[in-house]
Amino acid sequence: MKKYIDTGKKDTRSGFGAGLLEAGRRDARVLALTADLKGSLKMDAFAAEFPDRFIQCGIAEANMVGVAAGLAISGKIPFIGSFAEFVTGRVYDQIRQEVSYGKANVKIASSHAGITLGEDGATHQTMEDIALMRALPEMVVINPCDFNQTKAATLAAAAYEGPVYLRFGRPSVPNFTPEDAPFEIGKAIVMNEGSDVTLFATGHLVWESLLAAEALEAEGISAEVIDIATIKPLDVEAVLASVGKTGCAVVAEEHNSAGGLGELIAGVLAAAKPAPLAFVNGRDAFGQSGTPAELMKAYGLDAAHVAEAAREVLKRK
């Protein structure tokens, strides 16, 4: 079944850095702004090659959003970068009023998302950012699963006209999608075909869901794994087609239960194709300090919990 193989662990934020550099080489309108986190956002290579297109805003996230909105109005394509907690919750009003409401062509690059930020703890982790961003009209929300997909998604975001929220993380995780795989905003990706249960996953949970599908296959359970890299706009057609085939599903995400991908898919199914559904997420809780691996296990965000959720939902099929 090993259709996807870990070719070496890389952090998804480095995928963003590689994508940003390539986007800058392709289009001179691409700019990069950060709030004193150039290294953490892997913007170093871009800043070195295009120093006149890099703006260090300092620890002033709200001002950074305003500067980016102004640059977008003047025809530039600004990427603003900070930790997910700081570039969503701290500046939500500015994003709403200056970017989303105005349909400004600003790309919000959020690193260190979810609990896999690790030892920095709850104040720097965010498990609410997807809920905040997908609630905004006009905002595209992308949560890629590995280095290669993050690079491709960054290039797609640069080419897209309108606000985009890009979510990625700090820890090194398996890099398993093809290097040359195209990324289309709004399209789900079938990673593994199956007939008994669908595993919808996003971000770091895609790899865990592939591992879960492998374990389930050993038990005679055929699991379809679908990568929801674009959370908004959701590929509703792909969701309904898969659940129409399997009859039940699990949604796995490194995000709180409220406002995440699970609630989004539940709403789609409730309206068009009711089916048994189970959830693997961070529950209604803040993060805490620990290594990424420890926290993923503590919050039930691993292959074992995805597989168990699949077994449970199959009983209600």
Q: Active-site residue among 22, 61, 128, 263?
A: 61
CA 313 – CA 317 distance, rounded (Å): 7
- HSE-up (13 A, CA, CB side) for residue 218: 7
Give the H or E element holding residue 240: helix 236-246
Contact between 176 and 117 under an 8 Å Cβ cutoff? The reply is no
Catalytic: 22?
Answer: no
- Tallying the residues shown for the chain, one arrives at 317
- Burial category of 288 from C-beta neighbours within 10 Å (exposed 0-12, middle 13-18, buried 19 and up): middle
What separation in angstroms does the CA of 241 have from each of 188, 203, 236?
11, 21, 8
Using the 8-state DSSP alphabet, how is residue 114 labeled?
A: B
CA nearest neighbour of 146 among 305, 259, 5: 5
CA nearest neighbour of 200 among 257, 152, 266, 113: 266
> Tokens in use for 310?
């699949």
Amino acid at 313: V
CA 227 – CA 224 distance, rounded (Å): 10
Contact between 305 and 277 under an 8 Å Cβ cutoff? The reply is no
List, by residue number, the catalytic residues: 61
